[in-house]
A and B are shown apart, each in its own frame.
Chain A
Amino acid sequence: MGTFLTQLGDSAGNIGAAILVTVEATVLGAILALVLAFILGLLARSRFLVVRGIARTIIEFFRGTSLYVQLFWLYFALPVLGFQISSALLCAVIAFGLNFGAYGAEVVRGAINAVPKAQWEGAVALNMTGFQRMRLVILPQAWIGMIPPFNNLLIQLLKSTPLLSLITVADLTFEGQQLRAATGQTALSYLFLLVVYFILAYIFTLLMNALESVAKARLGRGGGLRGLFRLREADPTGRSAGAGAGGGA
């Protein structure tokens, strides 16, 4: 125990840097995933069969294949074919972005479909273009429904980052293993990793909850940032509050 804590103290700098790498990969991967989720999710609703077909194929492919294999493909297989991605971290960000973007596309599509039909009709009656309907009316409402599932995906993405250590990146898991090698304390080293990942995941959750509260307050629901640290209840306002203004069938 004593040697473990001493070693932990000695490698604090490395561990700090490793946490930053893990957070960096998570955040960059999430940004790419978010962009792809919107592009693919919107294309998957296209009127044109070809566009829809292409989007669906991409979504199903990246959802249906293992992240682990995708990452190894980018890092080990592409160079064999003559394409070298400049850094291992970039490989990981691309793999995370594609994989979680595919999941996120379904979140975007589902949330858009959940906006009441009455809202589309209200926008048509004001003679908005298809793009204006989406930008001014539908997406600002659909966005709130996306935040909780996006939060799930973000946490899953964070928990996928230990894959980084398999492609030579000194992430949090890599440093945890270094700690274990240096001290021989297997249980403590992995306990340490569990705790740090949990703390990181909880920070992300709090940030996403804040985002959700702000988004809800903009729709005139909920009390903004108040009550953020309370345990979540079964959504008492629910989507039906939006339907009050949005109307039924």
Chain B
Amino acid sequence: MVLFEQVVKRFGSNIVLDHLDFSVAQGERVTLIGPSGSGKTTILRLLMTLEKVNGGVVYVEGQPLSHMKRGSQLVPANERYLRTVRKKIGMVFQQFNLFPNMKVLDNVTEAPIHVLGLSKEEAVDRAKQLLDLVGLGDRINQHPTSLSGGQQQRVAIARALAMQPDVLLLDEVTSALDPELVADVLNVLRDIAQSTTITMLIVTHEMQFARDVSNRILMFDKGRIVEEGQPDKIFSNPEHERTQTFLRAVLEER
């Protein structure tokens, strides 16, 4: 489903991803953990085409995402090509990124109407279902700014799902929230994980959540995967020393 092949990403002289190889299967839920600056968020941003690779190729469903085919060669993708591959990917951001110029309902319907070409009725039906799913069916006519952070983030989840992506990227979606609002958002995501087969790539510091929803954990350090495995193994019995110290630090914090 998602394949990274020798992917290199640099910001200036800082190497964020260092010849990274990994893949995620259809329907799999993979959580990326590791210290900040280890490249987790960059992986999601590359998949959302918000960043460009400096080396290697990213594939989604066998199709190159970072590049396009010209003859037998792969050349960096242009915007028109990106629009055809980007539709498979949806993303929820740490800071929600809701559009303050639109009401809650419009945040969820505008892209399906204008990008997917849905009729207004269809888009509204779909949006209402999704907003019910995230527990905000009664807030559709409010402005995003009048909602709590947790509510805004749940709208953002509905907005991403309304585009019916194959892969959902969750980028530290609870990091900007007050502690008492985190649970609501995570419960919504648990529901979605259980009731759908959508592929998920998750960056989070919520280890219990990662344990509950993931099939696999990837531990990152300095742009490389230092350890990977099933959640039980990684959390109960990590092998790599870096994983052990990281988990100890994260778990002590709470």
Task: Tell which of A54-62, A195-203, A217-225 binds the partner.
Answer: A217-225
Which residue of chain A has its CB nearest to the CB of B142? Answer: A220
Quick check: B145 and A121 within 8 Å, CB to CB?
no
Task: Tell which of B69-77, B90-98, B120-128, B224-232 binds the partner.
Answer: B90-98
Q: How many Å lie between the Cα of A127 and that of B89 in the bound state?
A: 9
Q: Which residues of chain A come closer than 8 Å to B48, judged between CB atoms?
A: 121, 124-125
> A126-B163, A136-B114 are known contacts. Are A245 and B49 too (CB-CB below 8 A)?
no
Which residue of chain A has its CB nearest to the CB of B90? Answer: A125
Whole-angstrom distance between the Cβ of B50 and the nearest chain A Cβ = 5
**Chain B 72-105 interface residues, beta-carbon cutoff 8 Å to A:** 79, 83, 86-87, 89-91, 93-102
Q: Which residues of chain A come closer than 8 Å to B143, judged between CB atoms?
A: 219-220
Q: How many residues of A are counted as interface, with CB atoms below 8 angstroms from the partner's CB atoms?
A: 28
Which residue of chain B has its CB nearest to the CB of A242? Answer: B100
Residue A128, interface by CB 8 Å: yes
Residue A129, interface by CB 8 Å: yes
Residue B152, interface by CB 8 Å: yes
Quick check: B99 and A119 within 8 Å, CB to CB?
yes
Residue A16, interface by CB 8 Å: no
Task: Label chain B's interface by main secondary structure.
Answer: loop
Question: How many A-B pairs fall under 8 Å by CB?
Answer: 94
Q: Which residues of chain B come closer than 8 Å to A20, judged between CB atoms?
A: none
Quick check: B97 and A129 within 8 Å, CB to CB?
no
Question: Chain B, 45-70, contact with A by CB distance < 8 Å: what is the 0/1 string?
Answer: 00011100000000000000000000
Question: Chain A, 110-127, contact with B by CB distance < 8 Å: what is the 0/1 string?
Answer: 000000001101111111
Which residue of chain A has its CB nearest to the CB of B163? Answer: A126
Q: How many Å lie between the Cα of A78 and that of B215 in the bound state?
A: 76
> A247-B94, A247-B95 are known contacts. Are A127 and B146 too (CB-CB below 8 A)?
no
Quick check: A124 and B94 within 8 Å, CB to CB?
no
**Chain A 101-152 interface residues, beta-carbon cutoff 8 Å to B:** 118-119, 121-130, 132, 136-137, 140-141
Contact of A124 among B49, B96, B102, B159 (CB under 8 A): B49
Name 29 interchain pairs, CB-CB below 8 A, sorted by A. A118-B95, A118-B97, A121-B93, A122-B97, A124-B48, A124-B49, A125-B91, A125-B97, A126-B115, A126-B160, A126-B163, A127-B86, A127-B87, A127-B111, A127-B115, A128-B114, A132-B115, A136-B114, A219-B100, A219-B101, A220-B100, A220-B142, A221-B100, A242-B145, A244-B145, A245-B98, A247-B94, A247-B95, A247-B176
Residue ranges of B at the interface with A (Cβ–Cβ < 8 Å): 48-50, 79, 83, 86-87, 89-91, 93-102, 110-111, 114-115, 142-146, 152, 159-160, 163, 176
